[in-house]
Structure 1
Amino acid sequence: MARFAEPSQVTRAPKLHLAMTGGILVLWTVWYLAWLAGGPGPAVLSYLAMPLGAAVSAHSIYALMRSVRLDRVARRFWRGLLIALSLVATGYALLAVEAFRQQPVLPDMPIVAAALVGSAFLIAMWAVGRVPVGIAGRNQRWKQWLDRGIAFFGCSTVLFHFALVPMVGAQANWSTQMLVLLGLSFVLAVGGITKVSYLGRGPIDRVAMRLVGSGGLVGAGIAVLSVMGGAASVIPAQAVVMPVAPLLVTLAVRRQWTSTGAWPRRANTWLPYLAIAAVDIPLLSLLFQRELGWNGDLVIIMAVLVNGLVAVRQLVAMRENQRLLREKRASEERLRHEVTHDGLTGLANRGLYRERLGAALDRGPATVLLVDLDDFKTVNDSLGHDIGDHLLIAVAEALRTAVGPDGLPVRLGGDEFAVLIEGDEVIGEAVAERILDALSGPVSAHHLLAHASIGIATANAGTPLDHVLRDADVAMYTAKQRGKANYVRYVGGMEQPVLAHAKLGGELRRALDADEFKVWYQPIMDLERGLIIGVESLVRWQHPTRGLVSPAEFIPAAEGTGLIVPLGRFVLRETCRQAMAWLAEFGPDALQKMGPNVSVRQLHDPDFLGDVRTALADSGLPPDRIVFELTESAVLRGPQVLQTLHRLHDMGVRLALDDFGTGESSLSLLRAFPASILKLDKSFVDGIELDEEGTPEANARQAVARAVIQMAGALGLDTVAEGIENQGQADRLRGLGYTLGQGFHLARPMPAEDLTRLLAAQREKVAA
């Protein structure tokens, strides 16, 4: 493994090599000036400058590779230059030996030396050519090769015509091997320049590459000297011009040593155009010559080649521009479609819907159908959002098919869709019926049932857009209130119940802030002893002007507005506080069950479990005294709800399944639901005392009541019979095995102070 230099060495070494190559150039330049004035030393001393400079620059590359951690590509590039400079130093050293041996100055270069230097130029070209330019894609590479070809042949033509050709006819009578080497140096120079012009980010510094490529232009300087000075140009070429190349390489090493080479600069795309202009210069010079000669023919051929490449490049550019225009148009169409259409279903979106509706109302009457899926949230909660999305896609396709050419189907967002129909309002009912028929059977790959409520509203020309949308929304809401899975057309005044509902929601918010809600308690009785063993917590609204508002009126509004969550939080905290007060006053055996009702919205609230912990901690009530009462529909709301219920059970809180026996999955629920208490629904208690008449309905009620008590006993669950309204019902239930009951016959809901008096009386009775 290569040893890497210390930081002090890293900063010293490039300066030393730079000073040596620069010193060689300055020293031999001074020597040459002195020699012109008849100064010391023979002329053959000029041949020592190039091998010495090449050796120093080669050693600078060697030091770079030992001292700096280079990328694999960079190491390969500099290794190639190291070999090339070593061959140059050796070749020119052989030339110097030959010059000293055959004084005076010998302009001819030995074949071996020429072979070594020629190999060095080829290796340098190979190293430069293998440097990656960072172009990805076949088309981009082809375009770059065309650009580089134009630049290469254009610049080469200029160098050939103005440097190499005059040198061939110069008085110095240069040898063939020297002309070949000069030609190779021109190729290296032009190739390096075109290469570095397209070099992007990479491990090799762009300036370093430019300096290496410029070293080949030394040949142009030699050619100029040969034309101007003839044979006398040999000494200045050897002493002054050629040592510039090692200095440039050492500068490149210095640059690489201190730079990452990662330039974000754009490529020189102007170079091919400069080359096109340059190739015309030799052509203009040929116009003044009567005989073109072989060099003129070659210049013309090169000019034709460059212009041919330009034509091909323009053709490629034209095709590229056409492709870019097609892609731009397609992108614009795609963006326009994305802006005006729903990403999931592909239907028109709300923005396009409002735009088309506004335009339709400007032209004449228009009908709007507002389609809202019934109970879609249950699908999302129980089956997951992925299946819900598949259902929405299937509904959108069914809607598109049902509407056909009669209107524009739209997805407004969530599970809400719409249809815009222009013209005859009678079509609205026909389209609504087709939509309901399309959704009457299972849809999507999961064969789900998706019912919808549809509101229809028609407006004449000039009607404000928002008015017709509001009317359709009111009609849809009315359809849901009438049983869902149907449609309703808007008529005047239909919005009054909706406005009343919205107004009630606002009053609920005010009532919460004003502490107008109270918690009442209905006792749960021991049917054998007639003692209170627990209570169910019920919320009441004491309105300042309307008096006591029925829960049947405000609970649905609280559910719809989401206020059931803060309302339920209030009931929970007040129940825990009051329960702890009763236990402190009447002893730990006074009440075994405190049962606040819990809604689905509360179970979905992420803060619900925290609210329960806070209420228990603040009051000091043991968790097993709280019994949350839930309906079967609340439990059947998906894995999130079941997870919350299991966490409540793990906390020690007990759970009661209210209205048991009325749902479709009562028995299967008990496998997944951690219930502690079953509350027999009132519908199975009504008329149970009349069973001796032997009617089928009475027998069925008794059979269900008996089955529930037996199942609860087998599962180790407590049972409570709800809705007991007379003593006969209490006696019959007690005969079936029920020990706990609740109903108006036993005790009505009452404020906390009334229940306190009952508990005090019960304590005296038990004591007596």
Structure 2
Amino acid sequence: MHPLASRLRAPRWRPWFAPVALLMALAEVALIVAGTHVAFHRLLVWAPAVCGLSIAVAAFAGTSGTADGTLRMFWRRVAVAMAFVLAAGISQTIDVATVPYDGMPPLGSRTLLLYVVGTLLAIASLLRLPGGGRSWRQMTTAVLDLAVVTVTAGVATSEYLGWAVDRFGGRASAWWLNLAMVAIGVAGVVVVVKIMAASRSPVPRAALWWLSPIGIAGPLSAVLMTVLLPWPHLNGSAAVLPFVGLFGALAAHAQQRARAGPGAPSRVAHPAVYRRGAAIPLVATGMTGLLVGTVYLRTGHLTTVQVAGTLLLLLLVVARQAVALAENATLLDTVAHQAMHDELTGLRSRRYFTAAVDGLESPHTAVLIDLRDFRSINDSLGPAGGDALLTAYADRLTRLAGERAVVARLGGDEFGLLLPGDHRETAPTVDRLRAACGEPLSAAGHEVIVEVSMGIADDADLHRRAEIALREATAHADGRVVRYDASLERQLTQRATIAADLRRALANGEFYMLYQPVVELPHGRMTGVESLIRWARADGRVVSPTDFVPVAEETGLIIELGAWIIDTVCAQAAAWRRVHGPDALGSVAVNVSARQLLDPACAELVAAALTRHDLPPSRLTVEITETAVFGGGRALATVQALSELGVKIALDDFGTGHSSLGLLRTCPVDAIKVDKSFVDGLNGTPQQEAIAAALADIAAKMELDTVAEGVETAEQARRLFELGYRRAQGFLFARPLPAAAIDEMLDGTAGMAA
């Protein structure tokens, strides 16, 4: 069969199932009410009944067509069961149309058999539905709930059978009728018990609750048959069957809503959902009490079954509530534990740590620890590996801190220690923590060395002061241990002031660019410039880049400031090309921070600036740090996108970051800028020159340009040339200059030191 034909023939869910089923139920009510006043054909009340059941069958079949696995099989079985009920309804319609009667409407053996088979199939479908496991207390509660419902059903069944014998006598057909009605009632009880006993179910609880009233359809139809005896054209079964169809359609509708909603909330039972089952024993007790009270008021006495059943029910409810209270106490203990502990590592939580700090009476030291570059490590190892690393580090902290310490995970990759004693007593523990940073941790089959930043405070207001110290520690690229002192407060205040002024300064045009020449060795001819941002406040005070650039990165303003720098540099480079010719100046370099590289729009921003100012991409060099791209991910992808534009990439401060040689293979680098610390070691011992010489050799073999930074003496320049360096920059040649001074150099009207 063609796949398309198969799909066309498959049952489908229709959103109009439930509204039409409701219409059938309302039509039946209207016919019953009207039938007590005016006579009409006896088959008329069966039209809504058969239509309602047909809609339920179609709704169940359509729902099975949109589900899979266990869910598909459940709704398919329920559809088959409802199909038997539909067949029984049609059979009963035939009985009413063909069998003459005066009084109780006919109900043939074929019809009864179809009702019983449909009911048994429904019970089997519910029993085969998986329910998931529970704790022993929850299982005990479920068993007691089952006993409560069973006793209530037993008391109600005994009263029903007594009523039925009184009404129908001892005829065999009457007993078959009662058997069918009790079976249908049992189906409803099974639904209720299944809802209470299942901790997990692929079927939404709302759908199961809509199925449960179907169980009272059988007994109710028998009662209505006697009530409607004065009107031969009305029928108790016809009165209830449209509602069977309605509840079935609503159950299927509840399944469709759960399927269309986010996630699958029906698959896992929330504790609050199960607590709704606590109302079941109370409802059962109330119903039994009402039934027993009614019987006593009507007859003046109670049967042995009714008295014993009521007493047993009360005992079961008391036992059930006792177990439920114990379970609630356990749940409260669990919730309290979860509130004060971290789920992943088992350490104390931030809430506990904060409360412990606030309740201190004796001297303590607070140590806050941040795992450096954890995001990059997590990206490389994956979420499971990142979790394993956090757990391993938590174990290390617990082992090193000792039994008297409070060890907490404060969130993400931040941990906290609360050590008894002042800084003299806790110094050995801090030293052990610092020394352990060089030891690898095992995570997801990898050996990982984790660098940390630590903030320490051992005076009043421990937590806040330790956070200030940690912020200072993490502000440095190499990570460090910082102990709180009053100067950190002043620095924090200063940074807050700078942060408040940054945006205003950008809007007011207080930033400007300087350019430091990059020269060719040994003659000192200028081959390019590096652009450097400067800030002169309106009051004339100059703010150092070392003060405002880190603050701009922390606040995110570096994105907006960086966009202004790129646009300004591109505009200036294009102006030099127009005035002095396309070959007058090689390349203009611009520094791009790690935060900018993480911005998805960074490459597009650079491309737009190049296009806007008609600057060839090869005339722009983007300088990045090794740390910015060490972890790969988004930052490295941005660098690769810039390289694909034709922009040159230079590694700034080369040799001082992470895995420098590895980056030369993974990052699309065109040039390396050797850090000033290596230049300062020239003209010293051979060991001091070894790294500078090795870097020049590696760059030459990899066909990379090299620029020596921080050249301050002629001896350094001479030795760099001897080691193979052909480009350099530093105060020996020129300090950072305004664009006009670069213009003069390009015109040949100004020289530079050689």
For normalisation by structure 1, the TM-score amounts to: 0.70
What whole-Å deviation, never above 9, does each CA across 1:382-431 have from its counterpart, x for those lacking one? 63563444333222222223333323222333333323356777543344
| Corresponding residue for residue 568 of structure 1 | 562
- Is residue 352 from structure 1 mapped to residue 352 from structure 2 by the alignment? yes
Task: Say if 1:152 and 1:194, in contact at 8 Å, map to a contact too.
Answer: no
- Helix, strand or coil at the partner of 2:441: coil
Aligned match for 1:262, one of 250, 267, 272: 250
- Structure 2: how far apart are the matches of 1:508 and 1:21? 79
| Corresponding residue for residue 236 of structure 2 | 248
1:303-322 matches, cutoff 5 A: 303-322=303-322
| Gap runs ≥5 in structure 1 | 2-6, 29-51, 97-106, 108-112, 168-177, 222-239, 286-299
- Structure 1: how far apart are the matches of 2:553 and 2:249? 66
What whole-Å deviation, never above 9, does each CA across 1:290-324 have from its counterpart, x for those lacking one? xxxxxxxxxx8xx3334444455445434433343
What whole-Å deviation, never above 9, does each CA across 1:711-740 have from its counterpart, x for those lacking one? 43x434333344444555545555665443
Task: Say if 1:436 and 1:485, in contact at 8 Å, map to a contact too.
Answer: no
1:635-674 matches, cutoff 5 A: 635-661=629-655, 665-674=659-668
| Corresponding residue for residue 157 of structure 2 | 152
Aligned match for 1:617, one of 607, 611, 619: 611
Aligned length: 656
- Helix, strand or coil at the partner of 2:706: strand
Q: Which one-letter code corresponds to 1:621 in the other structure? A: L
Q: Which one-letter code corresponds to 2:85 in the other structure? A: F
- Helix, strand or coil at the partner of 2:235: helix
- Helix, strand or coil at the partner of 1:406: coil
Task: Say if 2:56 and 2:249, in contact at 8 Å, map to a contact too.
Answer: no
- Structure 2: how far apart are the matches of 1:573 and 1:59? 78
What whole-Å deviation, never above 9, does each CA across 1:658-716 have from its counterpart, x for those lacking one? 3445556433322111112233444555575x59xxx52476367436514xx43x434
Deviation at 1:556, TM superposition (A): 4.6
Q: Which moved more, 1:562-571 or 1:18-27?
A: 18-27
Task: Say if 1:382 and 1:636, in contact at 8 Å, map to a contact too.
Answer: no
| Corresponding residue for residue 101 of structure 1 | none
Q: Which moved more, 1:383-392 or 1:593-602?
A: 383-392
Q: How has the CA–CA distance of structure 1 residues 515 and 322 changed in structure 2, closer, same or farther, with 3 Å as cutoff?
A: same
1:219-298 matches, cutoff 5 A: 241=229, 244=232, 247-252=235-240, 262=250, 269=284, 270-277=286-293, 280=296, 284=300
Task: Say if 2:369 and 2:470, in contact at 8 Å, map to a contact too.
Answer: yes
What whole-Å deviation, never above 9, does each CA across 1:267-296 have from its counterpart, x for those lacking one? 9845433443355468746xxxxxxxxxxx
| Gap runs ≥5 in structure 2 | 1-8, 10-16, 61-78, 132-141, 193-206, 255-278
Q: How has the CA–CA distance of structure 1 residues 192 and 21 changed in structure 2, closer, same or farther, with 3 Å as cutoff?
A: farther
What whole-Å deviation, never above 9, does each CA across 1:591-624 have from its counterpart, x for those lacking one? 2201112222222233322331332233222211
Q: How has the CA–CA distance of structure 1 residues 411 and 585 changed in structure 2, closer, same or farther, with 3 Å as cutoff?
A: same
- Structure 2: how far apart are the matches of 1:218 and 1:636? 80
What whole-Å deviation, never above 9, does each CA across 1:471-497 have from its counterpart, x for those lacking one? 334555677799988766555666444
Aligned-residue CA RMSD in angstroms? 5.2
- Is residue 472 from structure 1 mapped to residue 462 from structure 2 by the alignment? no
Aligned match for 1:704, one of 668, 689, 694: 694
Q: How has the CA–CA distance of structure 1 residues 366 and 181 changed in structure 2, closer, same or farther, with 3 Å as cutoff?
A: same
- Structure 2: how far apart are the matches of 1:407 and 1:634? 35
- Is residue 744 from structure 1 mapped to residue 721 from structure 2 by the alignment? no
- Structure 1: how far apart are the matches of 2:486 and 2:52? 90
1:469-508 matches, cutoff 5 A: 469-476=463-470, 490=484, 495-508=489-502
| Corresponding residue for residue 746 of structure 2 | 759
Q: How has the CA–CA distance of structure 1 residues 246 and 199 changed in structure 2, closer, same or farther, with 3 Å as cutoff?
A: farther
Q: How has the CA–CA distance of structure 1 residues 494 and 244 changed in structure 2, closer, same or farther, with 3 Å as cutoff?
A: same
- Structure 2: how far apart are the matches of 1:65 and 1:179? 29
| Corresponding residue for residue 39 of structure 1 | none
| Corresponding residue for residue 264 of structure 2 | none
- Structure 2: how far apart are the matches of 1:610 and 1:531? 33
Task: Say if 2:372 and 2:453, in contact at 8 Å, map to a contact too.
Answer: no
Q: How has the CA–CA distance of structure 1 residues 247 and 204 changed in structure 2, closer, same or farther, with 3 Å as cutoff?
A: farther
1:19-168 matches, cutoff 5 A: 70=58, 71=60, 72=79, 73-83=81-91, 86=94, 117=108, 124=115, 127=118, 139=143, 143-160=148-165, 163=167
What whole-Å deviation, never above 9, does each CA across 1:314-350 have from its counterpart, x for those lacking one? 4543443334323322332232233333333333333
Task: Say if 2:681 and 2:688, in contact at 8 Å, map to a contact too.
Answer: yes
What whole-Å deviation, never above 9, does each CA across 1:494-519 have from its counterpart, x for those lacking one? 64445445445555555434433221
1:510-589 matches, cutoff 5 A: 510-527=504-521, 530-543=524-537, 547-559=541-553, 562-589=556-583
Task: Say if 2:224 and 2:235, in contact at 8 Å, map to a contact too.
Answer: no
**Identical-pair percentage:** 28
Q: Which one-letter code corresponds to 2:617 in the other structure? A: P
Larger radius of gyration: 1
- Structure 1: how far apart are the matches of 2:726 and 2:496? 44
| Corresponding residue for residue 413 of structure 1 | 411
Task: Say if 2:180 and 2:218, in contact at 8 Å, map to a contact too.
Answer: no
Q: How has the CA–CA distance of structure 1 residues 404 and 23 changed in structure 2, closer, same or farther, with 3 Å as cutoff?
A: closer
| Corresponding residue for residue 365 of structure 1 | 362
- Structure 2: how far apart are the matches of 1:509 and 1:65? 70
What whole-Å deviation, never above 9, does each CA across 1:149-174 have from its counterpart, x for those lacking one? 221112323454x557xx7xxxxxxx
Task: Say if 2:517 and 2:527, in contact at 8 Å, map to a contact too.
Answer: yes
Q: Which one-letter code corresponds to 2:534 in the other structure? A: R
Q: How has the CA–CA distance of structure 1 residues 599 and 456 changed in structure 2, closer, same or farther, with 3 Å as cutoff?
A: closer
Aligned match for 1:216, one of 222, 230, 233: 222
| Corresponding residue for residue 592 of structure 1 | 586
- Structure 1: how far apart are the matches of 2:149 and 2:328? 23
- Structure 2: how far apart are the matches of 1:126 and 1:373? 67
Deviation at 1:759, TM superposition (A): 1.1
Aligned match for 1:634, one of 628, 634, 644: 628
Q: Which moved more, 1:371-380 or 1:592-601?
A: 371-380
- Structure 2: how far apart are the matches of 1:148 and 1:154? 10
